[in-house]
Amino acid sequence: MDLILLGAPGAGKGTQSSLLAERLGMEKIATGDILRDAVRRGTELGLEAKAFMDAGELVPDAVIFGLVKSALETPAAEAGAIFDGFPRNVPQAQKLEEILDEMGRTLGAVVVIDVPEEVLVRRMSGRRTDPETGNVYHVEHNPAPAEIAGRLVQRDDDREETVRHRLQVYRAATEPLIEFYESAEVPVYHVRGDRSIDLVRDEIVSLVGR
């Protein structure tokens, strides 16, 4: 069974997808992480994606489809995948349906993490990432262990004006997916994401846990 985590930038998809992958024995497929890794390594994909990401725009669909398909074909994804940051618009959702059908996989549920906009902006300005593990921290709500604090980095797209633009892109392109999945009769669960990280995780596990 595969699972989609939907939510605005900063809602906690990356945080929760890592925790859920560990708890449920599933593979996290985070298109944003894959793209940032490519940018860091200076690959052709990274060079193509960087300008879109820095501007808070979506990277072209054709680039994303290849990434997702390769990630799903790894042995680690056989037991189930948690999609974080994908799909991002209706064409991506339609393509995912096609890929899952071809591979004989089933989309079990969509979990929407709801967080008020002012909280999102505060979260993204305090976010720090560990470039070695990809783990995400927050300077106040979720500080990193002292021994790794020195290597943490801030994302280029976490400047306030870019954050506001990413939120607009989310409302216009990604939020309509909630209705898309409701119409497709895939179970859609809403979870309040402005509570502690553990509470949010426990609620998602109780909704989708196998």
Interface contacts to ligand AP5, rule CB under 6 A: 7, 9-15, 31-32, 35, 52-53, 56-59, 64, 85-86, 88, 92, 123-124, 126-127, 136-138, 141-142, 157, 166, 193, 196-197, 200
Q: Of all helices (H) and strands (E), which one includes residue 83?
A: strand 81-84
Kindly give the pairing relationship between strand 2-7 and strand 81-84.
Answer: parallel
Closest C-alpha among 46, 10, 30, 201 to residue 111: 201
Work out how close the CB of 119 gets to ligand AP5 at its nearest, in angstroms, rounded to a whole number.
Answer: 8
CB closest to ligand AP5, residue no: 32
Q: How far apart are CA 60 and CA 7, in angstroms?
A: 20
Nearer to ligand AP5, 82 or 136 (CB): 136
Q: How far apart are CA 134 and CA 32, in angstroms?
A: 11
Q: How far apart are CA 46 and CA 35, in angstroms?
A: 6
Work out how close the CB of 117 gets to ligand AP5 at its nearest, in angstroms, rounded to a whole number.
Answer: 13
Amino acid occupying residue 62 = A
Kindly give the pairing relationship between strand 107-114 and strand 188-192.
Answer: parallel
Nearer to ligand AP5, 167 or 188 (CB): 167
Work out how close the CB of 101 gets to ligand AP5 at its nearest, in angstroms, rounded to a whole number.
Answer: 19
Q: Which residues are catalytic?
A: 13, 88, 127, 155, 166
Nearer to ligand AP5, 15 or 188 (CB): 15
Work out how close the CB of 83 gets to ligand AP5 at its nearest, in angstroms, rounded to a whole number.
Answer: 9
